[in-house]
Amino acid sequence: MTTDLLATSADTWRDRAADPPAVPPELEPPGRVGLRARNRALWQRHDLRRQRAEAVYDASRNPVRGWPVSGNRAVLAFFADLVRERKRSFVLMVVLNALAAGSALVVPRLLGSLVNRVDTQGAAATGLDALALAVIGVVVLQALFTFGAQRTSTHFGQDLLASAREHVVRTILRLPVGRVEGASTGDLVTRVTRDVGTMARSVQWGVPRLLISLMTVVLSVVAMLLNSLVLAMPALVVFALCTPAVRTYLRRAPKAYITEGATYSRINTTLTETVEGSRTVEALGLSQARVRAGSDDIAVSAQAERYGMTLRNVLFAALNAAFQLPQVVTLVVGAYGYSRGWVDLGQITAALLYVVALAEPLDAVIGEVDRLQVGAASTSRLLGIAEVPPDREPGDRLPDGVELAAEDLRFAYREGHDVLHGVDLRLRTGERLAVVGPSGSGKSTLGRLLSGINRPRTGSARVGGVDLVDLPLEVLRTEVALVTQEHHVFIGSVRDNVVLAREDSPDDAVRQALAAVGGLSWVERLPEGLDTMIGSGRFSLTPAQAQQVALARLIIADPHTLVLDEATSLIDPRTARTLEGSMNSLLEGRTVVAIAHRLHTAHDADRIAVVLDGRIVELGSHDELLDLDGEYADLWHAWTS
């Protein structure tokens, strides 16, 4: 049977000497060749890098493993909803920004007319002081509007962001129990850190700034047209000429930036492994390999950076032309128009000021659209979490009694590969049942089905006559609890860390639970007792204390049946001695299924179930199984001889 497992070994083993380098040689610049060949090679590499970026982007949209990613439509709908909830502050923000942008545009007009008067009236010019005072008035107004606009934008952006991230965390806290228990959390961690960060930047700054810049651009164009049609049109045509370049850029840039981001997180991951595993690296002589892995990551990242850089350079070429040429055009057209008497000097001055001032908001619009697209990609990964379908719909039947019985349990993680082949098991109330068996035999899966984490493919696991998976979660948790080797201490107060299963527990209950596991004395010595903040970065607990907290949670949950998976691992050998009493008081008076690694657990149990290949092959007390002289007896003899 063991040889079967490695049957495909010859097909999948690879000679790594022939592994391609991290960066394909086609991406290296050619040696000494002519200018034209070099230019051609540059664009070929650019094209290749584009393909690589698109591959990275596609992979991020359709992850092979991990959680789903939602579509762009969902992102739009999500933000549209959030904006709709804040209609009033949104309107206020738009109005104030329009006022600020509008008043900013009046200033060049007034300056223009100042120039005009001097130009046309010469030394006889009057009202200059009044006009200057008017401009100052407008400037003061502009400053006030700017303040108001920024203020409402901040409120709006921060509020939107807070709602969005709280929504994401709420979604995570609703994820199906079965999926959470089975999947790796690495992908989720990336999403709540990196993707929330990216989303935050675009929501907080991107949305308001895009709005402001768009408004400024639109109003500037209007102002230019009002100032002088003749001067505005040619400049606007030049601006419009760069549209295709901008559109190409906006289509490609998000993928480039997402790829860059991915290469940097790759660099970080590799380095984190190297630092955290520095002892392993040293022991196995892997330093050289880790240094090379780091350099490879950097080489890949450099390619992504080169792609982004070339994209920007192409854009800059277009933008530089678009932003600077209108000055020349304005000058020439202005001179012609002036000689014909179509425009006056004030209009030319104002037009010049407008043209120069338009570059900034236009630039900002492109930048923010860019940022928003990257933010949208992150948001779609965040919203994807919500697309995991729920794995149960609680019925309204409540269990009648505490007896747990399993019938004909079958279960498969991959279709067609059952890990359990029809297990029947009836727990006797108050008994200790030890489940032993080799890894991969299905004993952990059995534990999950017995605690209602997963729905069996066929058969049923029922408590008091009701399917475990049809119980509301809060009821299920007080019936059966699955205890694994994890004993995470959350960032929060001691109370928060204990009351999990019954969140409205009074302090007395919390104290009793802690006292039962022998943890009350140290908790009371803490500076703020139950209110002391613990967890990562706060007051840190010893391993024994952390485990007492984990046990106290179960006392609060007070289920009549406990399924202990690798329960001996829950108790760290270093703390085993101090925690024996705590563990005993938890198990007291409950039905216990212990999925055991250590044979002494089995020895002490009322009954032992030996699981082999997804079936219970032996079931009985220690002495009965020894008499049977089967699998268990063999193991026991190996253990004790």
Partner 1 sequence: MQDYPPRIATFFTGTDDAPTPDPDTRSPLAFLRWILGQQKALIALSSLCYALWFLPMTLGPWIFGRAVDEGIVGGDEAALLGWAALLLAVVVVGGVFGIVSHTLVVRSWLVALYGALEMVTRKVAQMGHVLPRRSPTGEVLSVASSDSDEFGALTEILARTVGQLVSYLTVAFIVLTMSWQLGLLTLVAAPVLVGAALPLLRPLHRRQQLERSRTSDLTSLATDIVAGLRILRGIGGEQTFGANYARQSQSARRAGVAAGIWQAVVEAVGVLLSGIFLVALVWLGTRQVLDGTLSVGQLITFLGYGLFMVGPIRTFFEFAQKSTRSLVSARKAVAIFDQQPPWRDPAEPVVLDGTAPLHDAASGLTVQPGVLTVVVSAVPEQSAALADRLGRYLPADTEPVPLADDEGAKGRAARRSRAERAAERARIAALDEERVRREWGVTLGGVDLSRARLDDVRRHVLVSDTTSQLFAGTLQDAVDPHARLTREQAEEALRIASAEDVYDALPEGWQGQLDERGRGLSGGQRQRVVLARAIAADAPVLVLVEPTSAVDAHTEARIAARVAEARRGRTTVVTTVSPLWLHHADRVVLLHDGTVVAEGRHADLLSDHEGYRRVVTRELDEEEPAR
Closer to partner 1 by Cβ: residue 179 or 457: 179
Closer to partner 1 by Cβ: residue 169 or 465: 169
Contact criterion met (CB below 8 Å) for 190 and 60: no
Contact criterion met (CB below 8 Å) for 494 and 538: no
Integer Cα distance of 300 and 296 in angstroms: 6
Neighbours of 117 (CB within 10 A): 16
Closer to partner 1 by Cβ: residue 39 or 280: 280
- Which residues lie closer than 8 Å to 426 by C-beta, 6 or more apart? 403, 404, 405, 406
**Least distance (Å) between residue 73 CB and partner 1:** 26
- 3-class secondary structure, 466: strand
Sign of CA dihedral 484, 489, 495, 500: negative
**Least distance (Å) between residue 49 CB and partner 1:** 14
Contact criterion met (CB below 8 Å) for 396 and 467: no
Name the β-bridge partners of 433.
593, 607
**Least distance (Å) between residue 294 CB and partner 1:** 4
Name the β-bridge partners of 94.
none
Closer to partner 1 by Cβ: residue 357 or 407: 357
Q: Which long-range contacts (CB under 8 A, 24 or more apart) does 217-224 make?
A: 217/358, 217/361, 217/362, 217/365, 219/98, 219/101, 219/102, 219/105, 220/101, 220/105, 220/354, 220/357, 220/358, 220/361, 221/358, 223/105, 223/108, 223/109, 223/354, 224/351, 224/354, 224/355, 224/358
**Least distance (Å) between residue 81 CB and partner 1:** 18
Closer to partner 1 by Cβ: residue 32 or 73: 32
Closer to partner 1 by Cβ: residue 314 or 407: 314
Closer to partner 1 by Cβ: residue 387 or 604: 604
Closer to partner 1 by Cβ: residue 384 or 535: 535
**Least distance (Å) between residue 300 CB and partner 1:** 10
**Least distance (Å) between residue 215 CB and partner 1:** 15
**Least distance (Å) between residue 438 CB and partner 1:** 4
192: tokens are: 């709540």
First to last CA, the chain: 27
196: tokens are: 């929330």
Integer Cα distance of 570 and 610 in angstroms: 21
Three-state secondary structure along 206-254? HHHHHHHHHHHHHHHHHHHHHHCHHHHHHHHHHHHHCHHHHHHHHHHHH
- Burial of 567 from C-beta contacts in 10 A (0-12 / 13-18 / 19+): buried
**Least distance (Å) between residue 140 CB and partner 1:** 7
**Least distance (Å) between residue 317 CB and partner 1:** 6
**Which DSSP state fits 401?**
S
Closer to partner 1 by Cβ: residue 407 or 569: 569
Strand 607-612 versus strand 432-436 pairing type: parallel
Tally DSSP H helices, then E strands, for the chain. Answer: 26, 12
249: tokens are: 């850029």
Residue 416 identity:
G
**Least distance (Å) between residue 174 CB and partner 1:** 7
Closer to partner 1 by Cβ: residue 467 or 613: 613
Closer to partner 1 by Cβ: residue 48 or 325: 325
**Least distance (Å) between residue 536 CB and partner 1:** 6
- 3-class secondary structure, 565: strand
**Least distance (Å) between residue 307 CB and partner 1:** 11
Contact criterion met (CB below 8 Å) for 501 and 557: yes
Closer to partner 1 by Cβ: residue 400 or 588: 588
Contact criterion met (CB below 8 Å) for 450 and 596: no
Neighbours of 436 (CB within 10 A): 26
**Least distance (Å) between residue 74 CB and partner 1:** 21
Closer to partner 1 by Cβ: residue 217 or 382: 382
For residue 640, report the phi and psi dihedrals to the nearest 5 degrees: -95, -15
